[in-house]
Amino acid sequence: MRVAIIGGGAAGMMCAATLQEMNSATDIFLIERNHSLGKKVIISGGGRCNVTTGIHDVTTVLTNYPRGNKFLTSAMYGFPPEAVYAWFEMHGVPLKTQPDERVFPVSDNGEDVVGVFERLFEKSRVHVLVNHSAISVKKNGKQFAIVCKSKQEVLLVDSVVIATGGQAYRQTGSTGDGYAFASELGHTITPLAPSLNAFFTKEQWPADISGLSFQDALITAFGNRHIFEDRFSSHIRGLVDLLFLHFQR
């Protein structure tokens, strides 16, 4: 059995580790366009890597996904936050839960999280292909043919996992390629929308209060003929709903 995973981020690394632990005889090809794995993982949480949430009630966690919570339900119950916590501690990364329910490595170093997977892959049949940028995924009989940029060979596998992420933080390699691969294979892509949004103002005073945050925030915008209001509210204690920054357009 040969499996290709396109994308060496959080989802791709965990997928490879899980497949390897389930069947050590499987040849797994982890394809990553960057020179190393987990680039976005390392910079998340300000470099500390927010691994999971300290809230163990899956229903409560799912209420904080305004879109896609139904899609996530089976995966969340199959590998809930407490299982994520236990997995990393079992693999040598002690974790801590902050008062705001965010979970970080005790070391406050995201590289320790990526290091877990790198050590696992060294002793397994996971073939880590860094500096490999997949440009095409096509069905080839009962197999899949993957072509990588600047590489002459075509990788043939029995199964493909697309774990390329979305389009946030494009500088880390998340450029939305996975949507094109899925379309090539006959899947339908739903309209995309950001989970985090920024509002730019003409006024300069927001820069003076940069860093100030609110929970349960009500936003009111006055138009020429209408007044628009929307409320941003999270059910998770300590999660920021509105944050002022100094950025200017």
Q: Is residue 196's pLDDT more than 80?
A: no
Identify whether 198 is part of a domain: no
- Whether 197 maps to a domain, the answer reads no
Domain identity same for 8 and 110: yes
**Residue 16 maps to a domain:** yes
pLDDT tens per residue across span 24-48: 999 999 999 999 999 989 988 888 9
Co-location of 126 and 209 in the same domain: no
pLDDT at residue 82, rounded to an integer: 96
The domain tally of the chain equals 2
Is 191 a member of any domain? Answer: no
- For residue 147, the model assigns a pLDDT of 94
Q: Same domain, yes or no, for 90 and 161?
A: yes
pLDDT of residue 214: 76
Query: Are 138 and 219 members of one domain?
Result: no
| Mean pLDDT (the chain, rounded) | 88
Residue 7 sits in a domain of what CATH number? 3.50.50.60
pLDDT classification of 192: cutoffs 50, 70, 90: confident
Q: Does 200 reside within a domain?
A: no
Name residue 41's amino acid: V
Identify the domain containing residue 154 by its residue range: 2-184
Q: How confident is the model at residue 216 (pLDDT cuts 50, 70, 90)?
A: confident
With cut-offs at 50, 70 and 90, classify the pLDDT of residue 247.
Answer: low
Nearest-angstrom CA–CA distance, 120 and 18 = 10
**What is the tens place of the pLDDT at every residue in 82-140?**
999 999 999 999 999 998 888 999 999 999 999 999 999 998 999 999 999 999 999 99
Look at residue 193 and tell me if it is in a domain: no
Asked, for residue 129, whether it belongs to a domain, the answer is yes
- In this structure, the answer to whether residues 7 and 126 fall within a common structural domain is yes
Pair 179, 211 in one domain: no
Predicted structure pTM score: 0.79
Range with lowest mean pLDDT among 3-7, 215-219, 238-242:
238-242
For 48-76, how does the pLDDT look when each residue is reduced to its tens digit (9 = 90+)? 999 999 999 999 999 888 778 898 999 99
